[in-house]
Amino acid sequence: MMRINRVLNNNAVVIKAGDTEKIILGPGIAFQKGKNDIISESKVEKVFILKEGNKKFEELLKNVPEAHILLGEEIISYAEEKLGVDLNHHIHISLTDHLSFAIERTEKGIVVKNKLTNEIRLLYDDEFQIGLWAIYRVKEKMGIELSIDEAAHIAVHIHTAKMQSTNVEETINKTVIVLDMVDIISSYLEIEIDKKSLSYQRLITHLEFAINRFYSDEPFHQLDEEMMIMIKRKHDKAFLCAHHAAQFVQAEYDMNFPDSEVAYIALHIQRLIEDKK
């Protein structure tokens, strides 16, 4: 049995279960209800355990218009279903907060440009499609038309949560580095890379994980010395290209990839080369 400890808004309440506090979300769950009233379990859509970080969520639920919260939750559910993954819980704060700001800004006629919109669309196509869907839902529900740049912002939030990260800034930084590397690789090979190809998708995923490993000090791929020599010998062009890209990120971003990582990137580059044959 769930008894209301405090009402956050019509669709969100806090309950206590022993020592832990939980936020319960559900449409109309607290409608005409107050402290100590019992909520109908059939209306419960989501349950969050209130930890330190979730205090922020509670604040958000109290201060952000309900319509924005519901939209945020709807977008998150849609994204989880479409991507088939559980997103990092922080997205319930970051996306909803962002969305609410974006709606308010747009209502006031303020447009914030996103310089990376095209790149985000290319790098995170699935997330971008969800962003577009979100814009459509906002228009349908609120009559407000968000710009296409907002779809890209939403995509970055979703991508960040998909990578189980909470740092949207870092995602944007990584995006820039990955794009720089792709540019270097493409011009070195003198080929037009098919951005829809599986080989390309796998390359950028790998690059992103490699950058993650650098940031988080996680160990890189281990590789036999001999295997590396073999890769070098068999795929010399791809290897030189990967080496070239690695030198660039070292010079530009002071980011050092070990040889084994370079060899792994070379294998991905080799696939791009083979695609072109």
Partner 1 sequence: MFKKLFGKEDKNTGETWVSPLSGKVISIEKVPDPMFAEKMLGDGIAIDPLDGNVVSPVEGEIIQVFPTKHAVGIKSKGGVEILIHVGLETVELKGEHFERHVQAGDHVQAGDLLITFDYQEVKKKVKSVISPVIITDSTHVRNLKTEKEIQAVSGKTEVVSYDVD
Residues making contact with partner 1 (CB under 8 A): 202, 221-227, 230-231, 234, 264, 267-268
For partner 1, the closer CB: 91 or 210: 210
Return phi, psi of residue 165, to 5°. -110, 165
Shortest distance in whole angstroms from residue 261 CB to partner 1: 12
For partner 1, the closer CB: 189 or 267: 267
Shortest distance in whole angstroms from residue 194 CB to partner 1: 19
For partner 1, the closer CB: 44 or 267: 267
Q: How many Cα atoms sit within 13 Å of 63 on the Cβ side?
A: 11
> Do 235 and 154 meet the contact criterion of CB atoms below 8 Å apart?
no
Shortest distance in whole angstroms from residue 198 CB to partner 1: 11
How far apart are the C-alpha atoms of 158 and 88, rounded to whole Å? 9
Helix/strand/coil for 88: coil
Residue 182, CA distances (Å) to 96, 158, 178, 185, 201 in order = 32, 22, 6, 5, 11
For partner 1, the closer CB: 13 or 185: 185
> Do 178 and 120 meet the contact criterion of CB atoms below 8 Å apart?
no
Shortest distance in whole angstroms from residue 221 CB to partner 1: 7
